[in-house]
Structure 1
Amino acid sequence: MAKTYPVMKGAEAFHFPGNEVGILVQHGFTGTTQSMRGLGEYLAKCGFTVYGPRLKGHGTHYEEMEGTTWKDWIESADDGYRMLKKKCSQIFVVGLSMGGTLAVELAHRHPEIRGMVLINAAMKMDSLERTALEEGSRFLDAIGSDIRAEGVQELAYEKTPVKSVKEIVKLMEVTRKKVPSVSCPALILVSKEDHVVPPSNSRFLFENLKSADKSLIELENSYHVATLDHDKELITRETEAFIKRLSYN
């Protein structure tokens, strides 16, 4: 029987009931809902219904993550979407890093999604692709907490399973092929300096999404986990404005 691990304090899923506008807020690879909670709370104060799921295998122990697949992560995101759909007439998806990858995947699956906010979304990472080809190591060092602001820590795994690296590489490969067919309105936020996901990923999205309504905003003062970094207020303001512009009463 597989060992079960408790959910880390601060890594729990969150749900804030609100109006008919539902917002799915998704964290990244090896990360937790902690990276998105501040943004989620802000959007809830705007009156929206907000749900931040804990992706399968995340927020517990990296050995549990090792047993999950890219399809499990999509299922976690899709479960969140369907839960909001029962309560809300219009849905927006927001994602950081791999959460952005999942947002694109959901927009492809559910064309009725009103808009997506992609924050340093992961589409292609050569470093991880090289790692996925290596043999021997079971775990790698952590990739979390790429934050410019001093004294701010991301709640994330201290090790990364190599098997999980292979899974996110597959997720990016599968999703990247779908980008040209996604026409959902998109707000793309990209850190000028990111030590995890190359900023070229966001430019790829901006140039290749079919969306007629799309914009790219550069974050001047944040690294990868921008939702916890110096530009977090800019992210909340731009996200709020984007959703209010596209939602209908």
Structure 2
Amino acid sequence: MSGRVGALLIHGLGGTQYDLGSMHKILAKAGVETHAITLAGHGTTPEDLAGVRAEQWIDAVVAQYRELQPQYDQLHIMGMCMGALVALVLAERVQHGPAQGKLVTLAPPIYIDGWSTPWYAALRKLFYFIPGLATRMKVEEGEPFGIKNTLVRAVVKAKFERGDNFHYRWVPLICVKQVDRLRGWAMAGAKNIKASALVVHAREDELTSLRSAEFLREQIADTRVVVLENSYHMICVDNDRDQVANSVLEFFGYPPQEVRVRRRERAAAAAPE
């Protein structure tokens, strides 16, 4: 592929760039210049999410996109989980099209209806209207931490217990309201997206079912869907991470990466640094 190519990578709720596993390194090795963004309320403490609105996330990525886009022959947009929703809204807002680059959504939670979703999740919208309650309520990050691979899950659990700042252990319920707003914007605007889109989604995703991938397939004119058979939600660090990486590389027009064979090397490469 000729010309200068970049990619804007967007993390998930409560996360950091490590939500995307080794994607930054893999793309850089292929010749893609990657750019990470830390969304408002992230990288500090979970309490800082309480006062953040979805508009702040969108405004930040739109500003970074507009700054980067003139520097590249192609600038791809990629998001993981909530970052996928942000990526969808961004692509629609800036009219990101084939001439500008491509769009990748990894485990996009268009619907929050995965197999581990608690029965009371549908009641969260009622909690939003009770003054102060949604700010005080905590949504805990518990096992399986979105990870099917038991070795990687153990590494992530140990990092949580040590207090490593790679992902929040909990988020205030009030910020889930902002994710719900993002979901609404993404659903409403998906039909207007002109860029070629890749949706990568695990069949066993515990947060969001394959309905999300099917919705985007139906709404975005040029969409390819890859279904993973051996992962949960955190697909960039789980069992199918090599398939995720190679699907993205192929979508961008690059050859696949060399797949590591040794189990310990694979686990070390997948675990958040």
Alignment of 1:1-249 (within 5 A): 20-111=4-95, 112=97, 113-125=100-112, 130-134=123-127, 135=130, 136=133, 138-143=136-141, 145-152=145-152, 153=156, 155-209=166-220, 211=221, 213-244=222-253
Conserved in 1, the CA contact under 8 Å of 2:21 and 2:237?
no
Unaligned regions of 5+ residues in structure 1, if any? 1-18
CA deviations on 1:128-162 (whole Å, 9 max, x unpaired) are 55313224351323247211112322832122212
Q: TM-score, normalised by structure 2?
A: 0.77
Unaligned regions of 5+ residues in structure 2, if any? 161-165, 255-273
- Cα shift at 1:78: 1.8
CA deviations on 1:223-244 (whole Å, 9 max, x unpaired) are 0010011111111111011112
Conserved in 1, the CA contact under 8 Å of 2:46 and 2:170?
yes
Amino acid at match of 2:167: A
Counterpart CA distance in 2 for 1:90 and 1:45 is 17
Q: How many residue pairs were aligned?
A: 225
CA deviations on 1:24-60 (whole Å, 9 max, x unpaired) are 1111112211112511110011011111111111121
Provide the secondary structure at the position in 1 that maps to 2:253.
helix
Amino acid at match of 1:70: A
Counterpart CA distance in 2 for 1:69 and 1:161 is 13
Provide the secondary structure at the position in 1 that maps to 2:217.
helix
Provide the secondary structure at the position in 2 that maps to 1:240.
helix
Amino acid at match of 1:121: P
Conserved in 1, the CA contact under 8 Å of 2:79 and 2:106?
yes
Q: Which has the higher helix share?
A: 2
Q: 1:143 to 1:205 in 2, by over 3 A?
A: farther
Amino acid at match of 1:222: S
Amino acid at match of 1:52: A
Once the two structures are overlaid, the 10-residue window that deviates more, 43-52 or 192-201, is 192-201
Counterpart CA distance in 2 for 1:53 and 1:76 is 8
Amino acid at match of 1:235: V
Once the two structures are overlaid, the 10-residue window that deviates more, 220-229 or 109-118, is 109-118
Amino acid at match of 1:102: V
CA deviations on 1:69-88 (whole Å, 9 max, x unpaired) are 11111123223322322421
Provide the secondary structure at the position in 1 that maps to 2:48.
helix
Q: 1:184 to 1:110 in 2, by over 3 A?
A: same
Q: Identity percentage over the alignment?
A: 27
Q: TM-score, normalised by structure 1?
A: 0.83
Counterpart CA distance in 1 for 2:234 and 2:226 is 15
Taking only aligned residues, the RMSD between alpha carbons, in angstroms, comes to: 1.9
Conserved in 2, the CA contact under 8 Å of 1:148 and 1:221?
yes
